[in-house]
Chain A
């Protein structure tokens, strides 16, 4: 327990790695099922039903990932105790919404809360506050924030998937954030000398 308290950052990463692996396994399994059940030959309504069913299967993993992300993000601004309280509240809220409504509502709330917190983290990083980051350097931290905020916005965009104009703008904005974030994270040291990083 002491080890977990001391190294919760590491264990959170390991937990994220496990969930990411499970998502990878689900994706692979879905491919074989698609071929076996000949989904491509099904009429459109049955195809939509299959997609809905697969989304339902994937959503607990996505929620788990988002909750972990939801813990990873506020860990930069909260200490351990309030962090645990916050995480439990998010998980309970998501379960309640799933029971009352459906997985879509649960996912929507988890993503939205993660976006709000990540926006705060992004703003604090932008103005130069020293937050709890694994990365060293201003540009790398800013890049990390942009990647995570961008990915959350893309998740929201995919969840609301429709050809509406607003979602198109949201998609391109979030894509730009992810790309800019990746460039800053990977190549931040090219833009600024090491002492300013």
Chain B
């Protein structure tokens, strides 16, 4: 495989991606406008149509997610870290030494099956498509199951915002995996065996510990599912404050449950991964500290909720729910502003 093959796949991806961006952009503006119209003058017909626009948006995101999966699968099929046969013994000796130093057994190089990238569809900016798709599906279910206009409007506005961010801020559909491609480009363009050997030594550990790590299929997606559920939970908590009704509380708790479950399991899966990839010196890393903070705030909500019927607890619990959402946004943005192992 050379760089021209990757370029061909990229061009096809970008070609489809541009149409998808326009599709999502138009629908999200339409959704935002309809939601605004409904706030000003409620109408049953427009409300029903809003649901269908949300369905079309979700279908668009689903198609985008499929496109990302196809692109990653093409990378799996076409890119392999194949080294010249004369270096196999030398490389395997090096891998054995690396394994001895690491907490994880690193697979030896097999010339019959050279290592390939098994990229999950939530790497780099691709993650936003998965995250917002999860939110879209959950928002649709919550929208359908509630009669509360407050929850419906908040869900619509949040959905519209997320898709606008995905299409206008991020380059998921026009410039996929920029960091990965920058990393792999020298490998695809190198033609001197020694240069390939040097690149293999740099690329292989990252492939094993990061791109192809089994935890990659559990830790990030569970957190994104949790974030999506937390966003619906936030909408219901705001409604709890505005409307003071038990239906909002019921929806809030119904979404808090999967959010907390996925958050806990996702965070737990991060622990052995961190030990294997970074060794023991990552404790008190900013992202980990903020994740613990978020989990602690969420635990506080679940404990306080046990006494919901007591005087003053209704508002306290609703505010705690909103604080959970704020903590989630803070935790996510922490990766951009704070240094450490998780910084983007």
Residues of A within 8 A of B (CB): 10, 13, 16-17, 20-21, 23-24, 27-28, 30-31, 34-35, 38-40, 44, 47-48, 50-51, 54-55, 134, 154, 158, 161-163, 168, 171, 175, 178-179, 182-183, 186-187
Contact = CB atoms under 8 A, between A and B. Distances in A.
Contact of A13 (B265, B284, B296, B307): B307
Contacts of A17: 300, 303-304
Contacts of B327: 24
A171 B339 CA distance: 28
Interface string B274-316: 0100001101111001101100110110011011001000000
A30 to B, nearest CB: 5
Given A44-B281, A175-B265, 17 more contacts: A13-B303, A20-B297, A21-B300, A24-B297, A24-B300, A27-B290, A28-B330, A30-B284, A31-B290, A31-B338, A34-B289, A40-B339, A40-B340, A47-B281, A161-B283, A162-B280, A182-B264
Given A47-B281, A187-B257, A35 B338 contact: yes
Nearest to A183: B261
B284 A134 contact: no
B307 A163 contact: no
B107 interface: no
A182 B261 contact: yes
Contacts of B285: 34
Interface of B: 103, 257, 260-261, 264-265, 268, 271-272, 275, 280-281, 283-286, 289-290, 292-293, 296-297, 299-300, 303-304, 306-307, 310, 327, 330, 334, 337-340
Contact of A171 (B271, B280, B283, B310): B271
Identify which of B286, B330, B338 gathers the most chain A CB atoms within 10 Å of its CB. B286
A78 to B, nearest CB: 20
A35 B339 contact: yes
B260 A27 contact: no
A175 B284 contact: no
A29 B237 CA distance: 27
B215 to A, nearest CB: 13
A21 B324 CA distance: 12
Contacts of B103: 163
B284 A34 contact: yes
Contact of B339 (A30, A34, A50, A162): A34
Contacts of A158: 271
Kindly list the 6 A-B residue pairs having the minimum CB-CB distance in the complex, ordered from nearest.
A27-B293, A31-B286, A27-B289, A186-B257, A24-B293, A163-B103
Given A27-B290, A51-B284, A20 B299 contact: yes
A31 B310 contact: no
**A-side interface mostly:** helix
A178 B260 CA distance: 12
Main secondary structure of the interface of B (DSSP, over half): helix
A44 B283 CA distance: 13
Contacts of A179: 261, 264-265, 268
Contacts of A50: 284
A54 B290 CA distance: 14
Nearest to B290: A31
B286 A171 contact: no
B284 A178 contact: no
Contacts of A31: 286, 289-290, 334, 338
A134 B307 CA distance: 9
Contact of A16 (B303, B310, B337, B338): B303
Contacts of B268: 154, 175, 178-179
A40 B341 CA distance: 8
B300 A28 contact: no
Contacts of A34: 284-286, 289, 338-340
Contacts of A171: 271-272
A134 B302 CA distance: 13
Contacts of B261: 179, 182-183, 186
B303 A178 contact: no
B304 A168 contact: no
A13 B303 CA distance: 7
A16 B286 CA distance: 24
Given A20-B300, A30-B286, A31-B286, A38 B281 contact: no
A163 B289 contact: no
- Of A24, A171, A175, most buried by chain B (CB within 10 Å of CB) is A24
Contacts of A175: 265, 268
* Residue from B271, B289, B297, B334 whose CB has the most chain A CB atoms within 10 Å: B289
Contacts of A20: 296-297, 299-300, 303
Nearest to B280: A161
Contacts of B297: 20-21, 24
Contacts of B283: 51, 54-55, 161
